[in-house]
Structures are given as C-alpha cells and as structure tokens.
Copies of this chain bind each other. A is one copy, B any other.
Amino acid sequence: MTANPYIKQYLMTAGPTPVPPAVTQAMAAPMLYHRAPAFDELYARVLGRLPAVFATANPVLAFTASGSGALESAVANLVRPGTRALALAAGKFGERWIGLCEAYGADLITHQPGWGARIDPAGVDRVLEREGHIDVVFGTLSETSTGIVHDIQAIADVVRRHDALLVVDAVSGLGAARMLQDEWGVDVVVAGSQKALMTPPGLAFASVSERALEAARALPGGRYYFDWARTAKSQAQGASPFTPAVSLFLGLDVALGLIEQEGLENVWARHELLARAARAGVLGLGLELFGDPDERSSVVTALELPGDVDGGRVPGILRRLGITANGGQDGLKGRILRIAHCGYFGAFDILTSLSGLELALDQLGHDVDHGAGVGAAQRVFAEAGVLAAA
C-alpha cells in the first residue's frame, strides 16, 4: 500500500493513550539496575508522587502488570470462597469484577442495570439493604465501554453506611475524572499507567487503605505476586518486591511531573471541557449520545452511530484516515463509536476525531453537513476561552 501523504497517524483510543514525547524520551535512557541508588531515587520519587493523583494518604502499591492485574490484586487479597461480594456492573469493565469474583469463589451478588446506565446509589442501597451483610463492593469509576463515569462519592456514602469495603476500578478514570479517595472514603482504588497517566501499559496500581490492608491480612495465602502486604512492606523499605518495569517507571516519573505542572484540578477541568466539546460535536452532527452521560463523563464520549450506515465499518474507515478509535465492544459492536479524551489530549484532538467521524459517515452514505460537528465543538472551546491568544 502506497502511503497517502495527506494521512498521518493519530491514536485516539481510551487506552493505551498517546504518550507525550517527553515521556517517550525518558524511557529511552540506558537501563538501570533496580537495586542501584539511581533506581532507588526514581522509585521513591514515583511512589511519593502517586498518592496525590489518588487524593489519598495511603501508600500506592505498584505492580508490573496490566490494569487487570491490579483488579485481580483486590480480589485475591479480599475474596475467599464464600466471601460475600457485590459487583456493580454496567459495562465490560464492571463485568470483569464478576469474572474475577467467580474465579475466586465469592458468594457473589451482582447489580447490573445494563450497559450505558449510570449506577444509581439508591439502587445500591436497596441491594445492600435486601442482601444483609456484604463484605466487599466492587465498582467502576469510568466505564470505558460506555463512556459513563459513575458517582463514586455517592456510592461510597451508601457502602460505608452498610459497613462494607468499597473497591473502585479507576483504571481509565484516574487523572481524567475527579476521584478523591480519602475524602470520599473509598477503601481501595485501582489504576493503570496507560490511560490518563500518559505512560505505556505495563504498570498497575492499588491504593489500599489501612482497613483494607487489615482485611487482606486476615485472609492470607492463595496469592504471592499480587500480595498487598508483601508489596507494602517492600515499598516501605524503598525496594520493589520483584524486578519492576524500569523503563515504564522512567516514563511515569515524567508523566506525573506533567500532571503536577498542569495541576490536578486543571487536568480534571481540561478533561471535562474536552468531553463537553465532544458531546457538543456529536449533537451538532445530529447524532445521539449513548447511554446516560453527564458532566462527570470526562474520559470517553460514546455516541450512537446512525441507523443508515453500517456501523461496524466506521473504525476501519477511520483507520484508513489514520485515526485509531474505539468502536463498541461485545453487544455494542457496530452500534457505537467512542471519542477518547483521556490523558495526553488537547482541543485539536477532539476536532480531528470529529472531522474523521464526519468524513467516515459521509463515505458510508450518511447525509453529513461537513464541519457541523467540528464547529459545535470549536464553539465550546472558543466560549471557554482556553484557546485565546495570550
């Protein structure tokens, strides 16, 4: 295939997300021995920087793993056969909690209001009321498969009233959507390097409260690599328990510096504005948003593809335009497209995604008013003043 010189490559997925050049450059440094002072310093600096992003005083435990590895750490440390667990699932990643809890033999209750729904805290309250004692509730901050960011603050209030532990999958949400672990009283928050933390995949995190660590200690065995107590003890001594992904630590250090420089509040505000512009663009094109998004849905915007196009072809056409974007997963395949704004994303990334969407729909025979979506999004940025010349 001859390259089309009009086409450049744009990674517009919700994870892995684009990596800032400064992060990539840092990762190109010569390899470090993980027991040498140069790595010790790096390790301490990264572990020292992470808690701010979780808004916690907990030590944040770092694992060399995909995000799912840190999810598994929560189940391996808190669930035994017969443990009473409640999984809140309104999409693919919520359902991962179900698979994990089943693998570990939990006495499992599920609350599944359907893909695209926002979990209703009052509904969670009713389930907890009805079911009697529950040990652990598993939830999701940002459900990447549907674009919904759940109201973890309200869910945490409910769960604490029922005296259960709350574990939140914030893999795609952390750093993109507001998440105040300690203020909201969330026992465990799990995250990954490859989303709003702007680093390649391969590092995963669990911010574990003392209460959750106690609960884990009461259920020893059945785990080793993902054992929280082992990792916490080793980190407290300044050492990684296993050979860590050194190059990813080099990158993450720079990425966390970028977040500090921008300021976490500003990072959240940027994600919210990018999302608002994306939603305006979708509506400006006469399309509908998928599910039940609100101002919190700042990680990825899911839209319903129009009925007059073969939706399954949209990601492929976008790819021919150089844009790698997410269609729907599982039952939503061909029905939705997802515009990501998670991590290293700016205003023109949203405009590019919307342009690509317009062009793709046009190529599939949908009646497109070229620029209608882009223009609507652009107006949001113009009105917010974020692109104003200094």
Contacts and interface: CB of A to CB of B under 8 A. Distances in A.
A174 to B, nearest CB: 15
B34 A221 contact: no
A221 B108 CA distance: 15
- Decide if the interface of chain A is mainly helix, strand, loop or mixed: loop
B27 A11 contact: no
B33 A16 contact: yes
Interface string A240-251: 001111111000
Interface residues of A, number: 55
Interface of A: 9, 11, 13, 15-19, 24-25, 27-28, 30-37, 64-69, 72, 75, 99-100, 103-105, 192, 194, 200-202, 221-227, 242-248, 319, 324, 326
Contacts of A36: 319, 324
A244 B201 contact: yes
A66 B69 contact: no
B30 A13 contact: no
Contact of A24 (B28, B243, B324): B28
The 10 A-B pairs with the shortest beta carbon distances in the complex, nearest first, are A202-B245, A66-B242, A200-B247, A68-B242, A103-B224, A72-B225, A13-B33, A201-B243, A202-B202, A33-B324
A31 B9 contact: no
A200 B72 CA distance: 24
Given A103-B227, A104-B222, A202 B248 contact: yes
A162 B24 CA distance: 51
